[in-house]
Amino acid sequence: MFTGIVTDFGEVRRVIRGEGRETRFEIASHYDSATIGIGASIAHNGVCLTVVETGPGWHAIEASAETLSKTTLGGWDTGTRVNLERALKVGDELGGHIVSGHVDGVARVVDISPDNQSLRFTFETPEELARFVAPKGSVALDGVSLTVNEVDGRRFGVNIIPHTQAVTTFGTYRPGSVVNMEIDMLARYVARLLERG
């Protein structure tokens, strides 16, 4: 489990694309690799992935064909910047919202406009996820916990403050950029209960 509060800004240093097996990514970060155990879960742009190897200043993860097809990882290459968050520990501050690291789909940036010191991002979500997005609700985009400002059909807006622009990948996005999207866990379960009712 995660909170959607990014704790490091990593970079893909190597990609090994396997035929008939997982794709391996080596991620450079500021994490002390001596504190990362093999088998540890780390969210990479919101995708919970298992650490399979570590080295000084880097760790390696592997992504299945399913993960590559359902997230933005299929487009990663050397130099891709990545939002990182280590798994939540009992007693940690819950600064964002509960995030599982299980991506529901890919959303697209359709507009970025100034809003005082912040930037207002408008995203378009896949049709099947639109009903889970509500004004003042939570959403995780590339692993960042955000509050939804407004919703208009499949489109919704969020404000990104200067700090978030500086310490996450949001500072690199342009209209047309795609991001991993995880809907709020509470919205998922409420919808499921209503289906049964």
- Final residue of a domain: which of 86, 113, 148? 86
Instruction: List pLDDT tens digits, range 107-149.
Output: 999 999 999 999 999 999 999 999 999 999 999 999 999 999 9
- Final residue of a domain: which of 57, 86, 115? 86
193 has a pLDDT exceeding 90: no
164 has a pLDDT exceeding 90: yes
| CA–CA gap between residue 186 and residue 197 (Å, rounded) | 17
* Percent of the residues in the chain that have a pLDDT greater than 70, as a whole number: 97
**How many domains, the chain?**
2
66 and 149 assigned to the same domain: no
Residue 182 lies in a domain: yes
Residue 1 lies in a domain: no
Rounded-to-5 percentages of helix, strand, coil across the chain: 20, 40, 35
- pLDDT of 20 reads 67
Average pLDDT, the chain: 93
- pLDDT of 137 reads 93
117 and 64 assigned to the same domain: no
- pLDDT of 53 reads 97
- CATH number where 185 lies: 2.40.30.20
110 and 191 assigned to the same domain: yes
Residues near 66 by Cβ (< 8 Å), separated by ≥ 6?
none
* Percent of the residues in the chain that have a pLDDT greater than 90, as a whole number: 83
The candidate with the shortest Cα–Cα distance to 170, out of 155, 160, 156, is 160
21 has a pLDDT exceeding 80: no
11 has a pLDDT exceeding 90: yes
97 has a pLDDT exceeding 90: no
196 has a pLDDT exceeding 70: no
79 and 135 assigned to the same domain: no
Backbone phi and psi for residue 89, each to the nearest 5 degrees, phi listed first: -110, 150
58 and 118 assigned to the same domain: no
Instruction: List pLDDT tens digits, range 37-90.
Output: 999 999 999 999 999 999 999 999 999 999 999 999 999 999 999 999 999 887
156 and 74 assigned to the same domain: no
Residue 96 lies in a domain: no
Residue 97 lies in a domain: no
135 and 78 assigned to the same domain: no
Residues near 34 by Cβ (< 8 Å), separated by ≥ 6?
54
Residue 173 lies in a domain: yes
- pLDDT of 112 reads 98
DSSP state of 17: P
Q: How confident is the model at residue 197 (pLDDT cuts 50, 70, 90)?
A: low
Query: pTM here?
Result: 0.92
- pLDDT of 171 reads 94
Residue 33 lies in a domain: yes
Q: Determine how β-strand 23-28 pairs with β-strand 178-183.
A: unpaired
Burial of 125 (0-12, 13-18, 19+ CB in 10 A): buried
76 and 121 assigned to the same domain: no
134 and 190 assigned to the same domain: yes
Residue 93 lies in a domain: no
The candidate with the shortest Cα–Cα distance to 5, out of 168, 184, 149, 118, is 168
Residue 131 lies in a domain: yes
79 and 110 assigned to the same domain: no
116 and 69 assigned to the same domain: no
- pLDDT of 134 reads 93
77 and 110 assigned to the same domain: no
Query: Residue 133 belongs to what domain range?
Result: 105-196
